Amino acid sequence: MTLFGLVRHGQTDYNLRNLFQGSSDIPLNETGREQAHHALDHAPEIAWDVVVSSPLERARQTAEIIATDHHLPLGGTDPRLSEIDWGAAEGHDVAEMEAAYPGRAFPGREDHQAVADRGYDALEDLERRYPGQNVLVVAHGTIIRFLVSGIAERPLDSIPNGTLSILTLDGDTWGVRMIAGVPEAHVVRVASRDTNPRFVVDHAHLRPGAAVDPAQTPENREDETA
């Protein structure tokens, strides 16, 4: 069994300003760098073997900080772990764009199912590359939410910056052990690893879909797509 720790990158200025970020290559801000340093502070005691990431700068920076802090090797980047491309919404205010385009039907937006499918493909390739190991994957809020919600079989709220979710993969069986720092126990088997979709991501999942935990601080309740 291979275990994946999915870490959402630290905060950027786009996050702070509540702008759609997606494929835009925005670096971490000071808060984001601090979040990267503390991303594993409250994680379970897991002996991580390697850190890989999306090639976007905010994810790479987060991965490099974690690798340095925890003396872990970097395993490079995979473009399939990049965030969804929000098309015409990139760089624009979240509330304004959602009002203008109900259902997040932004011109040029990447298909949500395609985002999930490429993410599962990337994880399966990492499982073949690091069989039986514990792999930290630094990526982005929406793609992490798509991956986890597909396996958990329910819509999820935003994935906060600098939080850890844990998935497992053993043959054709996927599991969810943690969602953004909250323990979870859900296992599901797929019919085949050779065809997509592994898990169907409903169009409604484009927008975070669960109630916000009132215990979360305001800075952690930012829209993950921002």
35-78 pLDDT, tens digit each: 999 999 999 999 999 999 999 999 999 999 999 999 999 999 99
Active-site residue list = 9, 83
Burial of 121 (0-12, 13-18, 19+ CB in 10 A): middle
Contact status, residue 165 vs residue 180, Cβ threshold 8 Å: yes
Contacts of 217 (CB under 8 A, 6+ apart): none
Buried b (16+ CB within 10 A) or exposed e, 91-103: eeebeebbeeeee
Give the pLDDT score at 195. Answer: 84
Contact status, residue 75 vs residue 15, Cβ threshold 8 Å: no
Average pLDDT, the chain: 92
pLDDT tens per residue, range 146-180: 999 999 999 999 999 999 999 999 999 999 999 99
Q: Distance between terminal CA atoms of the chain?
A: 34
Task: Output the pTM of the full model.
Answer: 0.93
How far apart CA 28 and CA 135 sit, in angstroms, is: 22
